[in-house]
A = this chain, B = another copy of it.
Amino acid sequence: MTSSRQLHLGAFMRPVSLHTGAWRYPGAFPDANFNFAHLKRFVQTLEAACFDAFFMADHLAVLNMPVDALKRSHTATSFEPFTLLSALAAVTERIGLVATASTTFDEPYHIARRFASLDHLSNGRAGWNLVTTSNPDAARNFGRDEHLEHDERYRRAREFYDVVTGLWDSWADDAFVRDVESGLYFDPEKLHVLAHKGEYLSVRGPLNIARPVQGWPVVVQAGSSEAGKQVAAETADVVFTAQSSLEAGKRFYGDVKERRERLGRPRNHLKILPGVFVVVGDSRSEAQDKRAKLDALVHYESGVSSLSIALGHDVSSFDPDGPLPEIPETNASRSSRERVIELARSEKLTVRQLAQRLGGYSGLQMIGTARDIADEMQQWLEEEGSDGFNVMFPFLPEGLDDFARKVVPELQRRGLFRRAYEGTTLRDHLGLPRPGNRFFKSP
């Protein structure tokens, strides 16, 4: 019954566009990333288009790039996720709200509490993108000289997840009786003290907020290492991932779903959503022109440094307007080098265009008419490359409006995407069950 499956769509919204040139695009809002009035409009457009969720990545430091590139980036500053998503919760009704929070640089009591609070404020629409924090500069903002070592980060993450979910279960769903007559506010039999003492964490509990509306807010994971994929299989409801092609996507999809099944848990209770950069045009060439125009807005010097890193070779002396010369073998990652050379060849890009592509955004993309994009998405779904996508918009508002007005109706016509929300919580949208309370039977 593969064909009856439907796509799940998230919107990757921090930054509102991942593309470095986005803020300079004609008609774009240069401050879109940091202007609440704009963000409110965006989320309301996404909700009208029935997106599953607004997804907010997060970093605990300014981006770790040289200041000469940073100063050209519209993502140097942004809102903090809990504050922004709570404000957006108050101006929306149905769309899910996924915040990134770090298991390395925060405390489980705070994290459990904030997600529970966001879940209550939004009537069950919160999600937690559980990260161990990718930007190593974060460590120095939190009293450490160095980032925790990779495996240790994931061991702590695993324990952190157990503590947070344990705290969410502090109260039975029916603990609060609020009996005005007798004066009993809650039933003390329905309160559980966690008293966790583990390798990294020691947390007593109980949490000082009622169990979340969703039982547990939706857990999203984006790790890609072995440890990351394993934590995802064990803990995640949704896996957000960067894939470079449908082939790679299918391998990843199979790998993570199998890990899940080996744990004895249903594979369809884990949704895999690759990030995809979508540029829509009324014709294919219009879409390609938009992409080229956008890339051209990337400052050449920023592009040169990204390209040099990807090739493991300094390209600053190359003729910007000539083709990419032969590059000797280097220490750079072989796959990244080959990917870039192949990209230059297949799209016949000059050094400048290639540099601007890499300095802008060079991951998975879908470019074309609404039908082209729907075709590709359908193929991913039907061939089990994904359960949907986390969509990245090229520039705002136009790129988002185009997707909502052109691609979504095409997906709906094909029966691949909802025409209206059927439930009220993010779990409902994703087709995920509400977890039981590990300490109390359901009433």
Contacts and interface: CB of A to CB of B under 8 A. Distances in A.
Interface of A: 23-24, 30-31, 34, 36, 40, 59-62, 67-68, 70-74, 76-80, 82-84, 86-91, 105-107, 109-110, 113-114, 116-118, 120-121, 137, 140-143, 171, 176, 178, 180, 183-188, 191, 201-206, 208-210, 297, 299
The 7 closest A-B pairs by CB, nearest first: A86-B86, A80-B117, A90-B90, A140-B204, A83-B117, A87-B90, A83-B86
Contact of A208 (B62, B83, B186, B210): B62
Contacts of A180: 23-24, 30
Nearest to A300: B183
B31 A109 contact: no
Copies of this protein in the complex: 2
Nearest to A28: B180
Contacts of A68: 188
B209 A78 contact: yes
Nearest to A167: B141
Of A91, A143, A171, most B-chain CB atoms within 10 Å: A143
Nearest to A123: B36
Contacts of A70: 188
Contacts of A107: 105-106, 142-143
A185 B74 contact: yes
B82 A86 contact: yes
A200 B47 CA distance: 45
Contacts of A90: 40, 86-88, 90-91
B299 A183 contact: yes
Contacts of A185: 23, 30, 71-74, 76
Contacts of A203: 140-143
A77 B183 contact: no
A59 B116 CA distance: 15
Contact of A82 (B34, B82, B106, B184): B82
